Structure 1
Amino acid sequence: MATSDFAETDFEGAPSRLAIDPQAVARNYKRLAALTKAECGAAVKADAYGLGMAEIAPHLAKVGCRTFCVALVSEGLALRRLLPDATIYILNGVFDPPAAREAGLIPFISSLDALDAWPDDLPFVLNIDTGMNRLGVALPDALQVTRRPVMIASHFACADTPHHPLNALQESAFRAARSAFKDVPASFANSAALLTRPQSHYDLVRPGIALYGGTASPDLAPLEVAVRLEARIVQVREVETGDSVGYGAAERVRRASRIAIASLGYADGYLRAAGGTNETNGAPVFVNGHITRLVGRVSMDLVALDVTDIAAKRGDYVEFIGRNVPLETVAQKDGTIGYELLTDLSRRAVRRYGPL
């Protein structure tokens, strides 16, 4: 639902709701930008990591962000309509040079074939593989490139693990590339490297997850929380000791319990792995001032939570991600990372943009 079509009653009455604070993202950007002498850009790919690029990018621009990274040309075209004067890089490259030319989009060129297909008169970033073995021109080939890029770039594979030996190996390879492009600006650092590897900042840093309140590294505290996902209780029921809850009878309660059923499931992007079993506790949730946990499997549209010791009733909201239930805590339970949760945020929740 677009902000202009939004009514507060829609939010307050919604079975599930997603509060997103663009100002928190902007404040996180300012904190990150203050940590470096390089220009601080922003990764707003994947619809600003699921939070809504149309709402987030203008707030970033208002606090001084001038350079943005997206993955796809379609994202770049949408962003250009929002920010006519921004520098926009396309990380996955371009197959349609005329469209990129018209919109002033600058691709990361990651192979010699792509470089051959890119017009000589258009700017490009030479993306160099320094050891991640994902996108990027191999270093020996990059050193033979004679066309002048507007920037050289690479990407860390393990910056979220600061002591991983691959970080130093990648930095060494990038220094070799820098020696061949001495007067060309360089960009290497993502969120984690911005926070832990100042030697990799160069001319442009490209934070992503840290902008949105995610943890860029297990050793680092997240920045300001920017999102809260909630869903309403639709029923509270009594179950007896030993009764199973949910599909597959995956979990049986160990005591007589009150179980609340809330209107959220994997169809909303809340991962099935968050559920509980007889061997493992379900993900934490927060209801009426108390932390509790999920019971049994997450199903398509519903989850169950233990409210035996909590005053909870039909219509109460449960926080699934937010200040009281950190994104990374849920991600760890799900066996994934905050990036995946954010980019798959509830498809059906009513969204409100403003303070949490």
Structure 2
Amino acid sequence: MEEVARALRDHVKTFFVAHPEEGKRLRSLLPSQRIFILHGFLPNQIDDIVRYNLVPVLNSYAQVKQWQNFCKVHGCRHPVALQFDSGMSRFGLSEEDLDREALSSCQPVLVMSHLACADHPNDASNEWQRQNFIRMAQRFPGVPRSLAASSGIFLGSKYHFDLVRPGAALYGIAPNEETPHSLKPVVELDARILQIRHLTKGASVGYGLTWEAKHAARIATVGIGYADGFLRSAGNKAALWWRDKRLPVVGRVSMDSLSVDISTIPEAALTDDMSLSVIGPHQDVDALARASGTIGYEILTSLGSRFSRIYCDNE
């Protein structure tokens, strides 16, 4: 959070985080930008919302009532946003909620919703949700509107309204597999080889011995596992890379390590401090996600705290 905030603070006026604790951390870096809290608040967090000048996104009628009661007791006015459930059945106020008394006096600084199928550009629910959102937003004339997150931005300008919320797009995650885009990946990840073993035909690898050598093979044990965010589901499916050589993951992924077949790497090229590419020029986040049976979002958010992180500016 801190490094991303420093990179963006001279270019972005509005930030979104999930929880108040994240907003408190972010406020120390961004004294003047607006910071919205997507999950709103729990009752014991309202004081911090006000103290750190955070903007809660009110997602339910109960939150609206709690907020109004707090403001009445303390005699304060503080900006809030309202989220509508335009069809995803997740966060947000329903149209029935908007008819209730407490909403008639609410003066939000932003109304917003979220698209369920934005990563599928031709899905009819995108337009259906957009129309629902417009109808609900008309209850608050003149209030800025926000509907599109990363994938929604690529649906076109009619989904943009007054504010868009790029998240994964900041890191080069593709909006979908159909729309041409100019996003560039910003994350690379390497992992060290810890040990090399020479296997004979018929030898097996890893927990459950799920991979068997069909011929003599050179196998590297690499210091990355599911505790670091390399998903266990990627065992016997994904690959690491050395230069332009694809090195298949063999056997199950362990907590702190995995095994790859490095038979195609020349013996003379092996060194004691050798690393292999997990995410890089030949395999971006989305490609690793496909091999793991998931999406790029899960890969990025699963990357653990044990990595040495190097941030490169202006590249």
Q: What is the CA-CA distance between 1:289 and the residue it aligns to?
A: 3.7
> Which of 278, 285, 299 is matched with 1:341 structurally?
299
Tell me which amino acid in the other structure corresponds to 1:118: W
1:292 aligned partner:
247
SS at match of 1:330: helix
Tell me which amino acid in the other structure corresponds to 2:126: N
1:99 aligned partner:
48
1:153-182, CA deviations, whole angstroms, 9 ceiling, x for partnerless residues? 000111011111221211110111122222
Residues 215, 232 of structure 1: alpha-carbon distance in 2 compared, 3 angstrom cutoff: same
Distance 1:328 1:103 in 2: 36
Distance 1:239 1:268 in 2: 27
1:46-93, CA deviations, whole angstroms, 9 ceiling, x for partnerless residues? xxxxxxx1111111112x111000000000000000000010000000
1:116 aligned partner:
65
Residues 143, 191 of structure 1: alpha-carbon distance in 2 compared, 3 angstrom cutoff: farther
Matched ranges for 1:185-334 at <5 A: 185-220=144-179, 221=181, 223-276=183-236, 282-311=237-266, 312-313=269-270, 314-334=272-292
Distance 2:265 2:300 in 1: 28
Tell me which amino acid in the other structure corresponds to 2:238: A
Is the 2:228–2:305 contact (alpha carbons within 8 Å) kept by the matching residues of 1?
Answer: yes
Tell me which amino acid in the other structure corresponds to 1:227: V
- Could you say which structure has the greater relative contact order, defined with CA pairs below 8 angstroms and 6 or more residues apart? 1
Tell me which amino acid in the other structure corresponds to 2:249: L
Query: Does 1:90 find its partner at 2:37?
Result: yes
Tell me which amino acid in the other structure corresponds to 2:312: G
2:24 aligned partner:
77
Moved more, 64-73 or 113-122: 113-122
TM-score by length of 1: 0.80
SS at match of 2:282: coil
Tell me which amino acid in the other structure corresponds to 1:341: I
Is the 1:92–1:108 contact (alpha carbons within 8 Å) kept by the matching residues of 2?
Answer: yes
2:308 aligned partner:
350
Moved more, 284-293 or 178-187: 284-293
Q: What is the CA-CA distance between 1:300 and the residue it aligns to?
A: 1.1
Matched ranges for 1:29-178 at <5 A: 53-62=1-10, 64-95=11-42, 96-119=45-68, 120=71, 121-144=77-100, 145-146=103-104, 147-178=106-137
Distance 2:130 2:243 in 1: 48
Is the 1:139–1:173 contact (alpha carbons within 8 Å) kept by the matching residues of 2?
Answer: no
Distance 2:111 2:218 in 1: 58
User: Considering only CA atoms, is the larger Rg found in Structure 1 or Structure 2?
Assistant: 2
Q: Percent identity among equivalent residues? A: 38
Tell me which amino acid in the other structure corresponds to 2:227: A
Is the 1:210–1:222 contact (alpha carbons within 8 Å) kept by the matching residues of 2?
Answer: no
Q: What is the CA-CA distance between 1:222 and the residue it aligns to?
A: 6.4
TM-score by length of 2: 0.90
1:219-276, CA deviations, whole angstroms, 9 ceiling, x for partnerless residues? 2446111111111111221112222111101111222211111111111111111110
For structure 2, list consecutive stretches of 5 or more residues without a partner in the other structure. 72-76
Distance 2:167 2:300 in 1: 11
